[in-house]
Amino acid sequence: WIVEASRSGCVHQDAAHLSPVNRPTAQGTMPPPAVGGRGGPSGSGVNPAIQALQHGGLGRSFTGGLNNGSTAQFDSIKEGSGSLLLDEIKGEVKRIVPSLSGDAWKGMAGKVGVLGGCREYTGAPYFTAIAALKVGADLSHVFTTRDAAATIKAYSPELIVHPYFTESTDYKPGELTDEERVNVIELAASEVAGWFTRLDCLVVGPGLGRDPLLLDIARACIVAARGASLPLVLDGDGLFLVAREPELVQGYPSCVLTPNLNEFRRLASTMGVSLHGPHNDRLKKLAEITAQLGGPVVVSKGPVDAIHDGKVAVLCSTSAGLRRCGGQGDILAGAMATFMSWTTSFMQRARATGDSLPDMNPMILACFGGCLVTRTASALAFVSKRRAMLAGDMVEQLGAAVSDLFDASSGSGVQDTRGPQGPSLSRQDI
């Protein structure tokens, strides 16, 4: 199934073929009929998000009406066994979001680990770890190098920073023998693995760099995390590792990959998926990659975020800001890690109490929640900062985004504790 979710609704269609809706023809694209008397921003009824994916190919800019306040309105287009509206998807995600309650204790809302950072890159792991907290996790750990640890600690006292790693440049030429190198890798990996029982999700890659020793440490930690059945998010240089050794994650369903365009191309090349030719459909290529990986969920980031687990595709095209400053992918990884932590707890509670389980893969719901919150935070930050918007401005809007999307007093038992702060900025004002 393909579920396209924009600000107002989504399109649900069979992934095996393109329906007459938005099907390429000799005359162009056949627009969908207006449903409920509502069409696209110009009255055509054409869905710009689907057009961007089906006809824009890989790398073309998406310039549809989703960011200009005149978003296309849709009720639903039914095909196959049914339809799914954005509010229904959000309703499923809401079930995952824990209630704000005085009965909770530290750790119940999620414990996230971030493995990354090096001498050159200290911002990326910080943004991932702090984003996890701002979205709602209780604890956030950073496993990093000795050189990077002090800097990351200085960014925020909220983070628990573990200086477990060394880099190749920390050793004199010839000092690190093959035997000693193995010992360094095993010791570092065992230090990180010692925390696995106190983590709900581990993000690997933000700011890791390409130092061979660090990459080998990260590889050992991925193997150990998989052996411990710990959910993983692989981003940045963690994806560089997967592109070289896809077997690290093949067949592991508790894993999410978050490639940007270049990382997607690298991953496709490794998997033998051609990105050339006249039928360069991004969703089709994404489906081929996830099929070969056989387990992980892949989130192909872009103007429209495409989420695929090999069976179901969900497209998140909610409005975001127009700035493309660095650090936004790191923030998304942290947001997803928190939603994955919540998903694990929700599934455990649901099975224990006999509550109904989600109809959709809960990992996809977690990814959709992370994308939705990150895009909304971007839009909120852009309203006030415009061209000056930076990743730090997005971080400060994550709490408002979660509250705006999921903390309504009428939703799924979520208690609204915002009190007298007044209403948050309506997304219709963005």
| Cα-based distances in Å from 198 to 217, 369, 403 | 20, 23, 27
| 425/430 Cα distance (integer angstroms) | 8
Q: What tens digit of pLDDT does each residue of 84-123 get?
A: 567 788 888 999 999 887 887 888 889 999 999 999 999 9
**Amino acid residing at 52:** A
Rounded mean pLDDT, 175-192: 95
Count of CA atoms in the C-beta half-sphere (13 A) of 35: 16
pLDDT at 17: 30
Q: Is the dihedral of CA 165, 293, 301, 159 positive or negative?
A: negative
DSSP alpha helix (H) spans, 354-408: 362-385, 391-395, 398-406
Instruction: Identify residue 33 by its one-letter amino acid code.
Output: P
Q: Report the C-alpha dihedral over residues 13, 92, 345, 298, rounded to 10 degrees.
A: 30
Alpha-carbon distance values, 186 to 71, 134, 201, 245, 246 (Å): 52, 33, 21, 19, 21
| Mean pLDDT score, 388-403 | 96
Pairwise pLDDT comparison (210 vs 279), residue with the higher score: 210
DSSP labels for 141-196?
EEEEEHHHHHHHHHH-TTSEEEEEE--GGGS-TTTS-HHHHHHHHHHHHHHHHTTG
Amino acid 281: pLDDT: 81
Over residues 349-360, the pLDDT tens digits come to 889 888 888 888
The position carrying tokens 């890791």 is: 208
Across the chain, mean pLDDT equals 79
Give the span between the Cα atoms of 413 and 152, in whole angstroms: 36
pLDDT value of residue 101: 79
Residue 86 pLDDT = 72
Delimit the domains of the chain by residue range.
106-404
Which residue carries 């010992």 as its tokens? 183
CATH architecture of 106-404: 3-Layer(aba) Sandwich (3.40)
Could you tell me where the beta strands, DSSP code E, fall in 207-317? 232-234, 255-257, 297-300, 305-308, 313-316
